[in-house]
Amino acid sequence: MKECINIKKNAAGCACTYEPCGRKGRCCECVQYHLKNKELPGCFFPEEIEKTYDRSVKKFVTSYKT
Q: Where are the domains of the chain?
A: 38-66
**Structure confidence at residue 1 (pLDDT):** 58
State the chain's mean pLDDT as an integer: 92
Quick one: what percent of the chain has pLDDT higher than 90? 86
pLDDT, mean of residues 29-37: 95
How far is 52 from 49, CA to CA, in rounded Å? 5
